[in-house]
Amino acid sequence: MSNTAATLYNPSNLPSNDNINDYSYCVDVRGQMFVRNGKMIAYYGQLRFEALGSVGLAGLINRAFNSASYVSDFIVINGQGKLIVGDNGNNIASYNLENGNLTVKADNLLAFEDTLRCQESVVEGYLTIIGSGLFLASSCGPVMFAVPPICVDEQALLGWADTPCPSYRYDYSYVQSTLSHIGAMVGIGASGEEKQLEFKKIGNDDMVLIQSSESNLRGRDMLEKILAMLPGLDHDDAQAVYSNLYNRIHGQQ
């Protein structure tokens, strides 16, 4: 009968800061933590959700969220409870930092405790997490950990620990070829085989995180974001959106 009975979870047997399966994770919330908008799928307990713009959060944001570009991507969860996080079927992994730093692709950062500080990396589109505590990141496929020196395709790169800033490395024959000159003129980029991020080995704890796929995360494109917003509209707002779209579709014929 084991195959008929899916585990029945309650607050006491849900994993404590661990994965429920590859695509969902249960966080023990005690206090405050930052979670990406819309990624809460269920919770037990007393939890409150606040936007980063709320009054009363200024001190916390000043201390822990030093990243203006991504303020609207995260909310603050407050209270005590079991929080289940899911991200459109992307894989979820957790990382425990002890007085360390780890840089991850901004889109992939899912949640982090308020004991950590989040700052924008000098590499655009990446956030650096500094301090001690737990954070979650989603990835397209499981994460592979690699030790530098290593060259990584930009799309497959999830992040890196400790290693000083990576640099771009072009394949030598690609640089030599006329293709690159034409590409530069017409704006065609190089593929992962021709252009990679190169990591040098500097310290002993250097680590590079690579996702098992070059595809983007599910659920991050504009259309999906818009569709996710629709349930929040009241009748009048929905009507306004409808007539706007109607005019746009039929007015252009």
Partner 1 sequence: MPQYELVNSKLLKIVLRSEEVYAQKGSMIAYTGQVNFARSYLTGGGIQNIAMRAVTNEGWQMMTAQGSGEVFYAQSGQMVTIVPLKGETMYVESDSVLAFDRRLQTGTMFLGSQGGIRGLVQGAATGQGLFTTTFTGNGELVILSDGPTIALDVNPNNPVFVDPQAYIGHRGNLQPNLHTDVSWKSFLGQTSGESFQLKFTGQGVVYIQASER
Binding-site ranges for partner 1 (CB under 8 A): 3-11, 20-21, 23-24, 37-44, 47-51, 53-54, 72, 75, 84, 86-89, 218-219, 225, 228-232
Looking at the Cβ atoms of 184 and 245, the one nearer to partner 1 is 245
DSSP symbol at 18: E
Find the shortest distance in angstroms from Cβ 233 to partner 1.
9
d(CA 220, CA 99): 31
Looking at the Cβ atoms of 74 and 199, the one nearer to partner 1 is 74
Looking at the Cβ atoms of 93 and 157, the one nearer to partner 1 is 93
**Cβ atoms within 10 Å of 166's Cβ, excluding its own:** 22
| Residue of 47, 22, 23 lying closest to 35 (CA atoms) | 47
d(CA 207, CA 148): 7
Looking at the Cβ atoms of 3 and 62, the one nearer to partner 1 is 3
**Cβ atoms within 10 Å of 37's Cβ, excluding its own:** 14
Find the shortest distance in angstroms from Cβ 22 to partner 1.
8
| Buried-state track 219-253, b at ≥16 Cβ within 10 A, e below 16 | eeeeeeeeeeeeeeeeeeeeeeeeeeeeeeeeeee
Find the shortest distance in angstroms from Cβ 25 to partner 1.
9
